[in-house]
Structure 1
């Protein structure tokens, strides 16, 4: 969240430390502000696939209570790029087809800068009860344009059975621990033929996520607080070096360059990995008892390891905005307040495993019983950082993918890839 559309991961999707909100020649290209229309009436809610039917159930409750302000669900494509393209096309022609739209966390700046979505009144959303990092993903230049709905960050899945057999009693806290643990596992009979570690290293948004996590987990940042790229710092280079060394030394299998979320998830479920970086959605699938998972009951989760201690994950998420071209903006705002409220989020959370934006849900005993990974995810969210608030985010991500791919495949040295990336990113933030 995102990588594939994971609705909190899902896709999907990534983290570069900072806000590029102060950058941008792109603001000169924004359209004039549309007229505010605080009317009430029927609205459409454009979001992803309602896989469990829970969203429609929650909409039904709203519709019963608001007979003159009915909400119609519109399901957008599962592919995040296709969803963005569809939303952009609708905004460019100032279409009123959608009233409430689901935005990936990294789309906020683009849609807000181009005045395709409208600011929200934070006071009506009880902002102090959101996961703090998730709330920040909905902001652009200090104003809230998107209410956090689903969130999430990368966590480490590990084979507790294999570690126990190797005499390892706790998950790794550092990269060195991870490597050492793998070496011990490989010396056991059960560990023979099992690869060490994998994340998402195919040339797509997931690579941006994994690179930025490595940089952050080495104490670096892709951008500083003023919006300047910092990828040639010793810490940032150490993050890239971790990925390069992983492939060079075999800690990450060679096929890792083709892995996205689902390929890695299947490899872990088939018992082919000791450690796996992925989103929270994997937990329920790996715990399945229908024969689809060979590791149910044999794994656990932990925060991501880092260079000298626990690492920092990339914040994914999906937020809700009011379309600037909606004819019933007052109803759209009210519906967003309803759907992201604590009680409604909890009801949604009992039906599906996508992590949600309200902090209290991570301490709720009933939720923890249903989703045992929540305490680990909360700890990871506290250390996570959001991707850049950049109008040119897609170009930023593409530059990272190009140069990190070149480094992990041996086409560029870490120094050269870092220098080239610094140049590319500087050109996107001038």
Structure 2
């Protein structure tokens, strides 16, 4: 029997690669004529190289949900609702972690399965901090003491900008004229300035992984108010010091709504072995695999049954039950074809504003220009 080789592309953190390797190894043991090879790239490499180009080289692709508008426009990955039984997809929907499953459904087609779920959540060092912040004011007090770490690279600032627009009364992207009305946008940026003006400037070069590493390898920082969670750091033996994850704080009496991330698993429309690739996808995203092999090998499952599983929570010091309310309250980003242009660039003027304490209106104007460009790209791409 001729050997079937599937090539997959993912991102290079333990959360993103290790569980794929483990389940792929098991799949090959069950089906000896199938070999699944994974290549890892940095998150920046994913941003810099169009995923639609990667579909020509790889059978299996780990994607970010805002890309599904492009998938729908280009048909470069399979609409999985045409390849997977309705009862399987119903189980995925019923066991979604927040909006994870539906985030990969666009124009009534399922372009990926939610293999991984994440959203910014709070984390802290239990051995150093006994009084965990409960309100935004508590966060600012701790930040002024120099004990708060928080990601402040452009993409993370942009995700938090959405959060603070919502916290100040309105969701962004409600019309095609502006990202958010000026009053709400300025309030959001001014709120963010309260925090980012007092944290260590090194945070402006830190992503969530860098913050987790800082907090778990030094005693310099006790608390992070919001960063995309990594259950790896909540597991004994992964890092020098254990991180504990918890709910985000309240702002004006309401819990912050953070911007969901996570990843989905897509199958290339150019794959020569579509049926095998879909079969593997069904295995690794199934509840049984997600709450056992997947989480046991460092994964952060997209299937709800894993998030409420006692063994998974014992393994991660209750990361999943602590973060689940944040996931269920999460905000889903736009997914129109062209949005990724906005996501790739709109964080830059926001970072400059927060880093150098410049006029929020100028930052908003620049963001609105980028928004217009993204909508124009949508029109051009679909024309």
* 8 Å contact kept, 2:284–2:294: no
Change (3 A) 1:350 1:140: closer
Change (3 A) 1:214 1:159: farther
Q: Deviations over 1:146-167 (max 9, x none)?
A: 1110111111113445554xxx
Question: May I ask how many residue pairs the two structures share in their alignment?
Answer: 362
* 8 Å contact kept, 1:231–1:237: no
Change (3 A) 1:90 1:57: closer
> Which runs of 5 or more structure 2 residues have no equivalent in the other structure?
377-383
Equivalent position SS for 2:185: helix
**Alignment-derived partner of residue 36 in structure 2:** 72
Equivalent position SS for 1:330: helix
* 8 Å contact kept, 2:23–2:294: no
TM-score, normalising length: structure 2: 0.83
Change (3 A) 1:173 1:235: farther
**Alignment-derived partner of residue 174 in structure 1:** 135
**Alignment-derived partner of residue 6 in structure 1:** none
Match of 2:186 among 237, 242, 249: 237
* 8 Å contact kept, 2:228–2:261: no
Larger Rg: 1
The offset of 1:291, in angstroms, is: 8.2
The offset of 1:324, in angstroms, is: 1.1
**Alignment-derived partner of residue 156 in structure 1:** 122
User: Partners in 1 of 2:78 and 2:295 — Cα distance?
Assistant: 31
Q: Deviations over 1:144-191 (max 9, x none)?
A: 111110111111113445554xxx4xx3333123224556xx4xxxxx
Change (3 A) 1:133 1:227: farther
Greater relative contact order (CA < 8 Å, ≥ 6 in sequence): 1
TM-score, normalising length: structure 1: 0.74
* 8 Å contact kept, 1:47–1:74: yes
**Alignment-derived partner of residue 35 in structure 1:** none
> Which runs of 5 or more structure 1 residues have no equivalent in the other structure?
1-39, 187-194
* 8 Å contact kept, 1:43–1:332: no
Equivalent position SS for 1:75: strand
Equivalent position SS for 1:198: coil
Match of 2:286 among 338, 341, 350: 341
The structure with the largest helix share of the pair is: 2
1:147 counterpart = 2:107? no
**Alignment-derived partner of residue 204 in structure 2:** 257
**Alignment-derived partner of residue 114 in structure 1:** 74
Change (3 A) 1:133 1:367: same
The worse-fitting range, judged by mean Cα deviation, of 75-84 and 335-344 is 75-84
